[in-house]
């Protein structure tokens, strides 16, 4: 059994007092609900005498006398709620009943009486199923199956359980600091360029502080003041200011160019690393996520990061330097007036902060309204045929109108706020300028009356210029924190993909097989997509090399899952699958992919020519081989009917092919791969009977002397299989040849065959 968390000493003690010794327990489980639906701790142990459950709680309370800063300032207070014991000789079985959010574990006594043992939250689902299976095995065989010790659900660093074990991200260990740490290697590749950006930021800061000094203080107090050393040197001043402006422009240009280049490369590297992660990840990762969302996520997150690093970070540094420089020069020029200038800064900054938060909310609302509006639009346009067929135009117009109104209202709201809040803020900034003019004017007058007691006109002008330089960065900072938050979130999402561990992994030293005969064996294979919901149960069969196995069963019986397991899209839970006697988990991915090909009902053609699509399986194939494969798959003739032949471009907005045509191309693709083992998973299901028959004869040629697993709905497809297995509820319920199975009159296969033949006859097709 998988070791669950330890039983706390208090619980062990209660059990001991009741005569239940937990050290004798082959299995135990901790769940999170009581006998009724309320949250509490529940420990259920299986001991040789019976099943004991203790419902209890550990309430947290402050420890008396402990210091507020002490680590042990709280203590857990144990409280026993209920104890239940059922002798083992009375237990028939334990059933797990799924509710919408929670699970109910029902104990059935040998007397037939049923009772609720405990409820459990969905988080305990896999443990509950493991417990009930363990108990079933204990009741039957007197022992619990051994399972390898796994600690996959604990963070290796802090040993805390993951919030989601399938998504091994530790909330505690993955802070923003570690994010930056992870990102740094991407930047370190561009050390020189980054050093250049920093240097240019420094220079740019210095130039921006010097310029107002030149065109205010030097102009008024030196160049225009008779008697000073620079009096009349207008040309020198103009040239200096122009040079500073030129230098500033040049630095900014270098800064922007290098910054943009580094950001582009870093984002490119990130995207590349993420795409490589996609290749590494297991199929289950993609089935549990929406593909469109993944695409948007990568694109928009990478964009967000690009703008954050390109626009955000360099300007952040420039602005910081600018503020520090400006305040330093101001303090040096007139400390008292500087204080007056700085006085309203916190209020203005606070104003910007609050405003931006408000706008963030308004924009989020607007985004929601826009999404709803867009989904109504795409709904109606996509379903126009149905709208017209059911004469629902008016209702759809009304639906569209409602969403459109909401969007318009929200946009108007933003615009109104925009035109009231920002002018008010600007007024506040201007007021502080007026304050500077007022106090500054006073100091200038004072200076003219008593030289040395105030400031000059040039210095006052300098202050006003600096004031603008002080408030512009404040506006930037208030917005920057929002950008930073979204930038870090984008980073988190991107690293999520990179850090996810693939569920199906290649062995460290995998077996490479050059030639494969094609013996396939499933031995006691068990598998479930979701915990407790077993899809494949104890399936065993052997297909000798070169033979064809037909797999029959209802929809959802688990037929395609067998194909998924053989191709290692998923790994078996227990049991093994071998190819030529080697466990497929020991084989390299390359060996497996080279020797096993699948043609499924869902065909996918990549954007490109038919030739490229067929060659996808074997890019080295000659043109003649492609044509031969196409002829075998029965697609040569229709390909040749296109003006561009094999160079016809398929895909969206280009040449559209029918389902049957696409299927035949994908069969050609599989033939070209020349695999030792071929899986045909409902390969002809999308075709009409005539086309199916046409392809069937082609498939018969291909499958000769090749191990083939044919999964089919239509039993007529499987008549020529060497052997058949019938799957029902994930189990093999019948096996034998077509003839032998038909002779079993009460058999599943016989019934299915009869039903299908009758259906075919009804539509006028005789087998």
Partner 1 sequence: MIDNVGSATELFRLMPENCRLYLSEKGLLRVSIPQKEYEGRAFLALAFPFETKVEYIAVQNEAKEELGMIVSLSDFDSETGTLVEAELKKKYFAPKILRITKLQEKYGSTFWDCETDHGPLSFTVKDTHRSFLRAGEDRIFVVDHNGCRYEIESISGLDKKSHSKIELYL
What is the SS3 assignment for 748? helix
Residue from 14, 102, 136, 742 binding partner 1 (CB under 8 A): 102
Q: Which of 61/419 has CB closer to partner 1?
A: 61
Q: Is 130 in the site for partner 1 (CB under 8 A)?
A: no
Q: Could you give the CA distance from residue 33 to residue 437 in angstroms, rounded to a whole number?
A: 70
Work out whether 106 is an interface residue with partner 1 (CB under 8 A): yes
Residue 89: count of CB within 10 angstroms of its CB: 9
Q: On the CB side of 431, how many CA atoms lie within 13 Å of its CA?
A: 11
Q: Is residue 361 involved in binding partner 1 (CB under 8 A)?
A: yes
Of residues 290, 413, 654, 751, which one binds partner 1 by CB under 8 A?
290
- Per CB under 8 A, the list member of 4, 14, 96, 116 interacting with partner 1 is 116
Query: Distance between CA 718 and CA 711 in Å, rounded?
Result: 8
**Site membership for partner 1, residue 389 (CB under 8 A):** no
Contact 588, 595 (CB under 8 A): no
Stretch that binds partner 1, among 106-114, 184-192, 374-382, 578-586 (CB under 8 A): 106-114
Considering the complex, what minimum distance in angstroms separates the CB of residue 419 from partner 1? 23
- Give counts: helices (H), strands (E), the chain: 22, 19
Indicate which single residue of 14, 96, 169, 740 sits in contact with partner 1 (rule: CB under 8 A): 169
Interface with partner 1 includes 495 (CB under 8 A)? yes
Per-residue binding string, partner 1, 327-346, x by CB under 8 A, is: --------------------
Q: Given candidates 2, 104, 593, 750, which one binds partner 1 under the rule CB under 8 A?
A: 104
Residue 158's contacts (CB-CB under 8 Å, 6 or more residues apart) are: 170, 172, 173
Pick from 493, 628, 694, 713: which binds partner 1 (CB under 8 A)? 493
Query: Which CB atom, from 402 or from 408, has the smaller least distance to partner 1?
Result: 402
Query: Sign (positive/negative) of CA torsion 687, 693, 695, 699?
Result: positive
Could you give the count of Cα atoms lying within 13 Å of 621 in the half-sphere of its Cβ? 24
- Concatenating the DSSP letter of every residue in 379-448 gives HHHHTHHHHHHTT-HHHHHHHHHHHHHHHHHHHHHHHHHHHHHHHHHHHHHHHHHHHHHHHHHHHHHHHH
- Measured over the CA atoms of residue 120, residue 121, residue 122 and residue 123, the dihedral's sign is negative
- Asked whether position 115 contacts partner 1 by CB under 8 A, the answer is yes
Candidates 310-318, 471-479, 487-495, 673-681 — which segment interacts with partner 1 by CB under 8 A? 487-495
Nearer to partner 1, 482 or 618 (CB): 482
From the list 165-173, 239-247, 318-326, 434-442, the region that binds partner 1 by CB under 8 A is 165-173
Nearer to partner 1, 115 or 401 (CB): 115
User: Quick check: 220 and 461 in contact, CB under 8 A?
Assistant: yes
Q: Of the candidates 5, 19, 24, 37, which one interacts with partner 1 according to CB under 8 A?
A: 37
- Part of the chain binding partner 1 (CB under 8 A), chosen from 93-101, 217-225, 681-689, 725-733: 93-101
Binding mask of the shown chain, residues 44 to 83, with x at each position contacting partner 1 by CB under 8 A: ----------------------------------------
Residue 660 near residue 608 (C-beta atoms within 8 A): no
Q: Is 417 in the site for partner 1 (CB under 8 A)?
A: no
Q: Which residues of 622-642 are buried (b: 16+ CB within 10 A; e: fewer)?
A: eeebbbbbbebbbbbebbeee
Q: Does 492 bind partner 1 (CB under 8 A)?
A: yes
Which of 97/644 has CB closer to partner 1? 97
CB 74, CB 9: distance < 8 Å: no
Among 276, 300, 448, 489, binds partner 1 (CB under 8 A): 489
Using DSSP's 3-state secondary structure scheme, residue 265 falls into helix
Picking from 273, 274, 269, 281, the residue whose alpha carbon sits closest to that of residue 168 is 281
Is residue 398 at the binding interface for partner 1, with CB under 8 A as the rule? no
707 strand-pairing partners: 677
Told to check if 743 binds partner 1 by CB under 8 A, we report no
Decide: is 39 part of the binding site for partner 1 (CB under 8 A). Answer: yes
Q: ∠ CA 728-730-732 to the nearest 5 degrees?
A: 60
Length of the chain, please? 767
Q: Which of 8, 121, 479, 546 binds partner 1 (CB under 8 A)?
A: 121
Q: How far is the CB of 296 from partner 1 (least distance, A)?
A: 11
In whole angstroms, give the CA distance from residue 725 to residue 448.
107
**106 vs 421, beta carbon nearer partner 1:** 106
3-state helix, strand, coil in the chain (%, to 5): 55, 20, 25
- CA gap 302, 266 in Å, rounded: 10
Stretch that binds partner 1, among 119-127, 306-314, 387-395, 451-459 (CB under 8 A): 119-127
**Span of 4-12, 245-253, 287-295, 550-558 interacting with partner 1 by CB under 8 A:** 287-295
Phi, psi of 78 (to 5 degrees): -80, 135
Site for partner 1 in 496-535 (CB under 8 A): 496, 499
- How many other CB atoms are there within 10 angstroms of residue 494's CB atom? 25
Stretch that binds partner 1, among 163-171, 211-219, 246-254, 676-684 (CB under 8 A): 163-171
User: By CB under 8 A, is residue 282 in contact with partner 1?
Assistant: no
Instruction: Tell me which residues touch partner 1 (CB under 8 A).
Output: 37-39, 97, 99-102, 104, 106, 113-116, 121-123, 125, 163-164, 166-167, 169, 171, 174, 289-290, 293, 297, 361, 364-365, 368, 489, 492-493, 495-496, 499
């Amino acid at each position: 059994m998988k070791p669950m968390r330890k039983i706390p000493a208090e619980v062990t003690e209660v059990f001991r007092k009741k005569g239940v010794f937990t050290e004798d327990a082959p299995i135990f489980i901790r769940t999170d609900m009581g006998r009724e639906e309320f949250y509490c701790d529940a420990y259920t142990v299986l001991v040789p005498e019976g099943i004991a459950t203790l419902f209890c709680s550990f309430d947290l309370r402050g420890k008396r006398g402990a210091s507020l800063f002490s680590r042990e300032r709280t203590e857990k207070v144990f409280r026993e709620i209920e104890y239940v014991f059922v002798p083992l000789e009375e237990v028939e079985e334990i059933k797990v009943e799924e509710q919408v959010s929670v699970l109910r574990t029902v104990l059935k006594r040998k007397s037939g009486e049923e009772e609720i043992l405990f409820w459990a939250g969905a988080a305990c689902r896999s443990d509950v199923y493991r417990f009930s299976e363990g108990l079933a095995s204990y009741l039957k065989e007197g022992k619990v199956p051994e399972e390898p010790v796994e600690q996959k659900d604990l963070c290796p660093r802090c040993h805390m359980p993951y919030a989601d074990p399938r998504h091994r991200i530790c909330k505690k260990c993955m802070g923003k600091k570690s994010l930056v740490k992870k990102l740094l290697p991407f930047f370190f590749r561009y050390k020189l360029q980054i050093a250049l950006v920093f240097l240019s930021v420094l220079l740019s800061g210095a130039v921006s502080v010097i310029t107002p000094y030149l065109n205010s203080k030097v102009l008024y107090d030196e160049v225009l003041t008779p008697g000073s050393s620079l009096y009349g040197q207008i040309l020198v001043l103009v040239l200096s200011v122009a040079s500073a402006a030129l230098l500033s422009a040049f630095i900014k240009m270098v800064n922007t160019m290098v910054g943009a280049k580094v950001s582009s490369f870093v984002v490119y590297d990130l995207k590349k690393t993420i795409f490589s992660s996609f290749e590494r990840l297991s199929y289950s990762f993609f089935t549990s996520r929406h593909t469109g969302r993944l695409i948007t996520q990568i694109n928009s997150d990478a964009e967000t990061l690009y703008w954050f690093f390109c626009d955000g970070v360099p300007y952040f540094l420039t602005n910081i330097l600018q503020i520090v420089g400006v305040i330093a020069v101001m303090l040096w020029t007139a400390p008292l007036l500087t204080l007056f200038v700085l006085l309203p800064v916190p209020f203005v900054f606070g104003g910007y902060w609050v405003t931006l938060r408000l706008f963030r909310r308004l924009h989020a609302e607007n985004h929601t309204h826009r999404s709803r509006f867009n989904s109504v639009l795409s709904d109606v346009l996509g379903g126009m045929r149905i709208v017209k067929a059911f004469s629902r135009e008016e209702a759809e117009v009304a639906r569209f109108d409602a969403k459109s109104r909401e969007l318009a209202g929200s946009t108007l709201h933003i615009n109104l706020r925009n035109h009231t809040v920002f002018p008010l803020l600007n007024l506040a900034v201007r007021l502080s300028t007026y304050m500077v003019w007022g106090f500054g004017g006073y100091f200038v007058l004072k200076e003219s009356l008593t030289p040395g007691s105030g400031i000059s006109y040039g210095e006052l002008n300098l202050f006003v210029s600096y004031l603008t330089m002080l408030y512009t960065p404040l506006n930037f900072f208030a917005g920057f924190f929002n950008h930073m938050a979204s930038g870090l979130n984008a980073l988190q999402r991107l690293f999520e993909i990179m850090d996810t561990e693939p569920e199906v992994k290649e062995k460290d030293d995998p077996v490479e097989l050059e030639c494969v005969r094609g013996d396939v064996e499933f031995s006691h294979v068990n598998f479930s997509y979701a915990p407790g919901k077993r899809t494949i149960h104890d399936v065993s069969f052997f297909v000798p090399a070169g033979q064809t196995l037909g797999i029959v069963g209802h929809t959802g019986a688990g037929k395609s899952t067998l194909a998924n397991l053989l191709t290692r899209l998923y790994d078996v839970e227990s049991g093994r699958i071998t190819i030529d006697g080697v466990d497929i988990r020991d084989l390299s991915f390359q060996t497996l992919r080279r020797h096993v090909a699948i043609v499924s009902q869902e065909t996918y053609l990549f954007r490109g020519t038919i030739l490229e699509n067929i060659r996808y399986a074997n890019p080295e194939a000659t043109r003649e081989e492609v044509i031969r494969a196409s002829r075998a798959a029965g697609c040569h003739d229709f390909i040749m009917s296109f003006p561009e032949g094999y160079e016809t471009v398929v895909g969206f907005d280009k040449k559209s092919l029918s389902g049957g045509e696409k299927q035949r191309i994908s069969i050609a693709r599989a033939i070209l791969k020349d695999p030792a083992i071929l899986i045909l998973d409902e390969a002809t299901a999308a075709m009409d009977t005539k086309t199916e028959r046409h392809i069937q004869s082609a498939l018969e040629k291909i499958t000769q002397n090749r191990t083939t697993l044919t999964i089919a709905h239509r039993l007529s497809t499987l008549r020529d299989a060497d052997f058949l297995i019938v799957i029902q509820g994930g189990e093999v319920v019948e096996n034998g040849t077509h003839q032998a199975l038909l002779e079993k009159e009460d058999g599943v296969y016989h019934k299915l065959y009869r039903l299908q033949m009758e259906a075919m006859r009804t539509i006028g097709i005789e087998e």
